[in-house]
C-alpha cells in the first residue's frame, strides 16, 4: 500500500487563494515585472494572478508570457500525434468515454501489427513524434504492451520519439519503459483535490489518489527523468488545480532537483456514455487563457502542451501566451488513423484540421513548426535539459533544429503552396539565429537535407 502523500497541502492552497483575492494593481505589476526575469514566481504570487479579471492587466500578463516564451523557446512549436492503442479500461472515471461501464463504446485493443499500421499512418501525415496512450486494463495493456509497441514502431517507421501516457506503474515497469526508449512519461492527476478525485474515480485502481500522484516518483526511481504532468480542467476550481499542480512540480524540484518537462492543460470535453453530463466547474476561454499564461510565467522552463480538445482559432491564440507543443491531425479511437468510429472515441475533438493545415496557421502566425526530437536523443533530458534551458541555451538548439526538421517535412510531405510559405519562414528564422557560427552550420545542414540527407540535428 502506498502512503498518503503530504506534498499537496490543501489547507495551504485554500489560504493562499483567500489571500490572493485581495490585491492592488501595483502589486500585480510588481509580480509581472519579477516574472519578466524568467525565474518563476511564488505560489502566493500565482494565487494573486489567478484572480485577475481586469482586461488591461490581463493584457500585461499575456505580454509577459509571450516575452518569456519567445526568450526561452524561440519561435518553434513542436508537433505530435497521439496513438490510441486500446480503449478497454477497468476504471470508471465519470468523465471518460472509455470507462468500464460504458456499454455504448465499441471496444478494441490493437494488435502489434495494427499499432505499427497506425504509427505508419501518423508518419505519412509527416509526424516524427507520437504519444502512445490507452485505457487501464492490466490484462491487455500492461508494460509489455507498451515496450513491444515501442520496439516495433522504432524498428519499422521513421518515428523518432515515442512518449507514453499511461496509468501508474511499478518502478520495475518504468525501468522497462526506459530501456525501450521512452521519450516523456506523461500522467495527469486529473484533479489535485482529494474529495473531488474520490467522487470522479469511484472504483478500480484509479480510485487510489496516492498511487496515482506518486507514479512520477516511481518513474524517476526507474530512471525516467523526462516526465509530464497535467490536470483535467473542469472537474474542480481551476485556481485550486493550478496551485496543486505547481505544488506537485515543486515536490519534484525538491526531491529530484528537476521539475517536469511538460505540463498539459486538458479541458473537459463531452464524451459518449460518460455520466458527467455537466461540467462541474466550467472554465471559460478567458480563464483558460489566463491559466496558460500563468503556467508560462510560473515555471518558465516547462513546456506547455495543448491538445485538439480546444478549438482551432483558440489554439492559435494560445500559442502566443505560452503553448510550446500541440497535437495535430489527431484521432482518439484505437485504429482511428485508418478508420473513424465515433463509437470508439475517448472524447470529442474540437480541432479537426489536418497536420499541414495546422502547420500553415503556425507559419502565418510567425512561428516555425518543429518536428525536432534532438534533446532526448542527445540526452538533453531532466537535469541536463534544465541546465541548458536555464542558461538560455536551449533556444540556441531549438530554432536550428526546428528549421532543419521543418525543411525535411516540407521536402517530404508538403504541397507546393505550403512549401513556398515554409521556405519563406525558414529564411526569416535563419536570420533570427544570433550566433553566426550556428547560422552557418544550420545553412550547411539545410544544403545536406536538400541533397537528400535526413535526420540531422544539433
Ligand atoms: N487511462 C490512462 C489514465 O487514465 O491515466 C491514460 C490516460 S487517458 C486515456 C487520457 C486522459 O484523457 C486522462 O488522463 C484524462 O485527463 C483525459 N480525459 C478523459 N476523459 C476526458 C474528457 N471527457 N475530456 C477531456 N479529457 C479527458
Ligand atoms: Fe480509463 Fe483513463 Fe478513461 Fe479513466 S481516464 S476511464 S482510466 S481511460
Which stretches of the chain drop beneath a pLDDT of 50? none
Q: Which atom in ligand 2 lies closest to the alpha carbon of residue 92? A: 6
Cell, residue 218? 516511481
CA distance 80 to 328: 6
User: pLDDT, tens digit, for every residue of 341-353?
Assistant: 888 888 888 999 9
Rounded-to-integer distance, Cα 17 and Cα 21, Å:
7
The pLDDT assigned to 392 comes to 64
**Residue with the three cell numbers 489536418:** 354
Distances (CA, A) of 318 to 65, 73, 181, 324, 351: 10, 15, 31, 10, 13
Expressed in angstroms, the distance from the first to the final Cα of the chain is 45
∠ at Cα 304 (449, 437), nearest 5°? Answer: 35
Q: What is the pLDDT of residues 205-254, one digit of tens each?
A: 999 999 999 999 999 999 999 999 999 999 999 999 999 999 999 999 99
pLDDT of 391: 66
Distance, CA of 425 to CA of 442 (rounded, Å) = 14
Q: What is the Cα–Cα distance from 434 to 439, expressed in whole angstroms?
A: 7
What value of ipTM does the predicted structure carry? 0.98
Total count of residues recorded for the chain: 458
Atom of ligand 1 nearest to the CA of 309: 25
For the beta carbon of residue 412, count every other beta carbon within 10 angstroms. Answer: 11
Contact between 225 and 259 under an 8 Å Cβ cutoff? The reply is no
Domain ranges of the chain: 70-351, 375-450
| Global pTM exceeds 0.90 | yes
- Residue 51 and residue 40: Cα distance in Å, rounded? 18
- The pLDDT of residue 393: 66
Measured in whole angstroms, the distance separating CA 87 from the mean position of its chain's CA atoms is 20
Please state the atom number of ligand 1 nearest to the C-alpha of residue 267: 25
pLDDT of residue 38: 94
C-alpha cell at 198: 474520490
Cβ–Cβ under 8 Å, residues 183 and 228: no
Q: Tell me the pairing of strands 129-134 and 262-264.
A: unpaired
Spatial separation of the C-alpha atoms in residues 305 and 243, rounded to whole Å: 18
Å from CA of 157 to ligand 1 middle: 27
CATH number of 70-351: 3.20.20.70
Average pLDDT, the chain: 95
Nearest CA to ligand 2 atom 6: 99
Query: Which pLDDT score is estimated for 380?
Result: 78
User: Which of 82, 84, 98 should be mutated for ligand 2, with most atoms under 8 A from CB?
Assistant: 98
- Using CA atoms, how far apart are residues 282 and 91, in angstroms rounded to an integer? 24
Q: Which of 90, 93, 347 to mutate to test the pocket of ligand 2 (most atoms within 8 A of CB)?
A: 93
Please tell me the distance between residue 310's alpha carbon and the centre of ligand 2 in angstroms. 19
Taking CB atoms within 8 Å and a gap of at least 24, the contacts of 427-432 are: 429/75, 429/368, 429/399, 429/402, 429/403, 430/403, 432/74, 432/75, 432/399
Q: Is 241 in the pocket of ligand 1 (CB under 6 A)?
A: no
Residue of minimum CA distance from atom 5 in ligand 2:
96
- Cβ–ligand 2 distance for 91 under 6 Å, the answer yes
Integer Cα distance of 264 and 291 in angstroms: 11
Amino acid at each position: 500500500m502506498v502512503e498518503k502523500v503530504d506534498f499537496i497541502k490543501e489547507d495551504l492552497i485554500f489560504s493562499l487563494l483567500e489571500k490572493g483575492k485581495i490585491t492592488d494593481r501595483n502589486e500585480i505589476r510588481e509580480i509581472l515585472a519579477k516574472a519578466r526575469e524568467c525565474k518563476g514566481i511564488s505560489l502566493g504570487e500565482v494565487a494573486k494572478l489567478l484572480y485577475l479579471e481586469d482586461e488591461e492587466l490581463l493584457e500585461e500578463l499575456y505580454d509577459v508570457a509571450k516575452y518569456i516564451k519567445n526568450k526561452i523557446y524561440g519561435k518553434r512549436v513542436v508537433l505530435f500525434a497521439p496513438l490510441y492503442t486500446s480503449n478497454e479500461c477497468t476504471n470508471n472515471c465519470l468523465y471518460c468515454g472509455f470507462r468500464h461501464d460504458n456499454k455504448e463504446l465499441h471496444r478494441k485493443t490493437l494488435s502489434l501489427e495494427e499499432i505499427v499500421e497506425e504509427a505508419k499512418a501518423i508518419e505519412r501525415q509527416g509526424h516524427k513524434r507520437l504519444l502512445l496512450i490507452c485505457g487501464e486494463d492490466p490484462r491487455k495493456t500492461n508494460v509489455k504492451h507498451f515496450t513491444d509497441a515501442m520496439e516495433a514502431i522504432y524498428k519499422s517507421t521513421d518515428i523518432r520519439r515515442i512518449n507514453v501516457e499511461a496509468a501508474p506503474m511499478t518502478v520495475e515497469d518504468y525501468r522497462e519503459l526506459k530501456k525501450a526508449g521512452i521519450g516523456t512519461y506523461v500522467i495527469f492527476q486529473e484533479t489535485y483535490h482529494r474529495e473531488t478525485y474520490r467522487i470522479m474515480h469511484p472504483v478500480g485502481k484509479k480510485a487510489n489518489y496516492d498511487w496515482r500522484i506518486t507514479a512520477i516518483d516511481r518513474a524517476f526511481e526507474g530512471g525516467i527523468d523526462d516526465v509530464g504532468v497535467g490536470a483535467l480542467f473542469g472537474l474542480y476550481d481551476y485556481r485550486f488545480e493550478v496551485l496543486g499542480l505547481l505544488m506537485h512540480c515543486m515536490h519534484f524540484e525538491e526531491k529530484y532537483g528537476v521539475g517536469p518537462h511538460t505540463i498539459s492543460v486538458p479541458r473537459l470535453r463531452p464524451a459518449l456514455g460518460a455520466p458527467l453530463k455537466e461540467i462541474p466547474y466550467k472554465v471559460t476561454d478567458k480563464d483558460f487563457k489566463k491559466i496558460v499564461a500563468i503556467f508560462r510565467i510560473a515555471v518558465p522552463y516547462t513546456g506547455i502542451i495543448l491538445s485538439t480538445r480546444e478549438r482551432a482559432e483558440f489554439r492559435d491564440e494560445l500559442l502566443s501566451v505560452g503553448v510550446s507543443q500541440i497535437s495535430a491531425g489527431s484521432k482518439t479511437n484505437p485504429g482511428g488513423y485508418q478508420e473513424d468510429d465515433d463509437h470508439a472515441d475517448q472524447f470529442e475533438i474540437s480541432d479537426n484540421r489536418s497536420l499541414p493545415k495546422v502547420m500553415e496557421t503556425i507559419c502565418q502566425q510567425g512561428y516555425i513548426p518543429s518536428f525536432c526530437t534532438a534533446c532526448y536523443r542527445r540526452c538533453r533530458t531532466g537535469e541536463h535539459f534544465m541546465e541548458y534551458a536555464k542558461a538560455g541555451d536551449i533556444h540556441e538548439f531549438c530554432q536550428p533544429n526546428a528549421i532543419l526538421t521543418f525543411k525535411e517535412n516540407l521536402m517530404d510531405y508538403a504541397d507546393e503552396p505550403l512549401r513556398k510559405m515554409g521556405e519563406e519562414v525558414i529564411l526569416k528564422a535563419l536570420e533570427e539565429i544570433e550566433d553566426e557560427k550556428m547560422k552557418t552550420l544550420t545553412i550547411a545542414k539545410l544544403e545536406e537535407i536538400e541533397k537528400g540527407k535526413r535526420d540531422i540535428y544539433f
